[in-house]
Chain A
Amino acid sequence: MTDPVIEADGLGMRYRRRGGGWALKDCTLALPAGRVVAVVGPNGAGKSTLLGLAAGLLRPTEGRITAPTRDRLAYVAQDKPLYGQLTVAETLRLGHELNPDRWDPAAAERITGPLPGNARVRTLSGGQRTRLALALALGKRPELLLLDEPMADLDPLARRELMGALLADAAERGTTVAMSSHILTELEGSCDHLLLVQDGRIRLDGAIDDLLAAHTLLTGPIADLAPHTVVDSRTTGRQLTALVRREGPVEGPWETAEPSLEELLLAHLRPTEGAPA
């Protein structure tokens, strides 16, 4: 296995200005290089905080995080910050001026394609801003690309096109991509690694295929599911539907199936029936 791109150890972050609660707590993870990582979780789970820490914009309250230095990573914040008074062409020049050793104009222009070069950034639509922000990130030829809710402002067509371009570029260069979203389906099919964040803690961390294979969806009569770990279960009459993390082979009167990614995520995010929410 290659060296991890992002490594966190006991990472915790508390914002002084927001009432003092932990935005992130006890995070230990190691993201392997070359993966496309989906950072998933409900709103306010700590996804943006995790990405901001990896980008080096935040100082951890406790623990430590190592990630590539700022010249080797690119970060697109959730609000797509850009300078409104510059034009599209000037914004690309900015990418070159601030990354003189790495800038690749062709990579950036592949993404900005349809944008008029002399348009001021403040006149662009949300989707166009996203396009320009992504171009700025890719033009830098990063080893690690951190994208916070990248596709939120895009229509489905542009989303598909941009995601395709992004992933093709990343695959070609072996770039590690970490992108967050609270829309589960947005990331399905494009990511091969999952990081599920909830209430400031990492709930799941692993290759999506491994995670899916480790879980089983059971349907059948109500019975004790030991030794398996029940992630989520609900009963309808005498029928039990449960998602379990298997400990050994499943033996019993149940129909079994491999869960979809969405089922897996929802099962982990949903408070278990009967358990305190």
Chain B
Amino acid sequence: MSTLALKGPQWVTFRQHRRALWWSLALAVCALAVMVASRMWSDGAVDALRTAGCTVNGSDRSCFQAQRNYADDQWFARNLVRYAAAAMLVLPILLGAFVAGPMLAREMESGTYKLAWTQSVSPARWLAAKIAVPAALTLTVVPVLSLVFYWSWSTGPADDYPTFWYEPTVFVSYGVVPVAHALLGLALGTAVGILVRRTIVAMGIAAVVIGVALAVLSRLRDGLWPVRTLTGAGLSAEGRAWPLDRGMLTASGERILWQDCFTAQSDDVGRCMTGRGGVTGFLDIHPASHYWPLQLVETGICVAVAVLATLAAFRVLRSRHP
């Protein structure tokens, strides 16, 4: 890696945080290993069941143990997917906290900025390098994680215990959103690191800010693309659609939600709904085809916020430094 053709402030940033960069690569490899293991564990379970000559739903008593092993293995594989997805969810927080604290605030806290900012390279280029190095790492590693997660998740633990694309952790684990979230974390961490001049405080604030941003995105996600409303009786979200609000429509088209009646009159919900004027049922869904529009809109929002945060960081730097 010493032959890496890095120059100027990028070289300095890389050298300073070499250890952290290696650690982050090691963590990425661990995450990939978990994803691959999940897939292999799941395949192994399928093979074992087939070798035993059994099926999942068969009622042959001799298959009881094989079915049980299969269920245990699939459950284990599914948990690995869940762990990997949880790691993908917190990745932007870890990244942002590292950039805010050890990369930026520590330069202020320890006074090394006085060294860095009196060289020929301008403070703006110094900050640009501080962003470029982790951004380059993010843009190479996170797409790999995203692709391997998709491969592991979509073909791995069979449909007996499915996890769905719209679950908060799964949605942020593949596609382009993981990259967008990582860049958002990086940019928010940069802004916090420039504003807060204490390493630990900056890490804490960055973690909270990014955590809140991710929570808000998760909360707003179902509204990022127009929902499709199904009407009729006995509706269910088929074809891996994301079910949202559910209720009944009145004759005038007004919506009544089931959840209101569950609290108001839990002993006879149906009567409560019709009593309020419900004529026919409705269900809001995002069909599976909304996956990419939702991903792209969320990516756009993240990139826009990231750009604003980065510009703000450069502005603050310029206002503090002649």
| Residues of chain A whose beta carbon lies under 8 Å from any beta carbon of chain B | 52, 55-59, 70-71, 73-75, 77, 79, 81-83, 85-86, 90, 93-95, 97-102, 133, 136, 140
Contact = CB atoms under 8 A, between A and B. Distances in A.
Contacts of B111: 77, 79, 81
B234 interface: no
A85 B21 CA distance: 14
A77 B115 contact: yes
Nearest to A142: B118
A92 to B, nearest CB: 12
Interface string B1-34: 0000001110110011001000000000000000
Contact of B8 (A56, A81, A100): A100
A63 B160 CA distance: 75
Given A81-B111, A97-B11, A71 B120 contact: yes
Contacts of A140: 119-120
B321 A59 contact: yes
B19 to A, nearest CB: 8
B122 interface: yes
16 contacts: A57-B322, A59-B321, A70-B122, A73-B118, A75-B118, A77-B111, A81-B111, A86-B16, A90-B15, A94-B15, A95-B119, A97-B7, A97-B9, A98-B119, A100-B8, A133-B115
Interface of A is mostly: loop
Contacts of A70: 117-120, 122
B110 interface: yes
B112 interface: yes
Contacts of B122: 70
B322 A59 contact: yes
Nearest to A70: B118
Given A59-B322, A140-B119, A98 B114 contact: no
A95 B8 CA distance: 9
Contacts of A86: 15-16
B119 A82 contact: no
B208 interface: no
B7 A83 contact: no
B321 A57 contact: yes
A58 to B, nearest CB: 7
A90 B110 CA distance: 19
A73 B120 CA distance: 9
Contact of B120 (A57, A79, A101): A101
B121 interface: yes
Contacts of B7: 97, 100
B12 A97 contact: yes
B122 to A, nearest CB: 7
A77 B113 CA distance: 10
A81 B112 CA distance: 5
Given A81-B112, A82-B112, A85-B16, A57 B117 contact: yes
Given A70-B118, A75-B114, A97-B7, 4 more contacts: A57-B118, A93-B15, A98-B8, A101-B120
Nearest to B123: A70
Contacts of B120: 70-71, 98-102, 140
A71 B117 CA distance: 10
Given A77-B114, A81-B110, A98 B12 contact: yes
B322 A99 contact: no
B114 A57 contact: yes
Interface in B78-123: 110-122
B9 A98 contact: yes
Contacts of B117: 56-57, 70
B16 A82 contact: no
Nearest to B118: A75
Given A70-B119, A79-B111, A83-B112, A56 B322 contact: yes
Nearest to B110: A81
A102 B112 CA distance: 21
Contacts of A79: 111
A221 B67 CA distance: 116
B119 A99 contact: yes
A196 B94 CA distance: 50
A60 B320 CA distance: 11
A81 B322 contact: no
Contacts of A57: 114, 117-118, 321-322
A72 to B, nearest CB: 9
A81 B16 CA distance: 14
B316 to A, nearest CB: 13
A123 to B, nearest CB: 16
A90 B322 CA distance: 28
B114 to A, nearest CB: 4
Contacts of A55: 114, 118
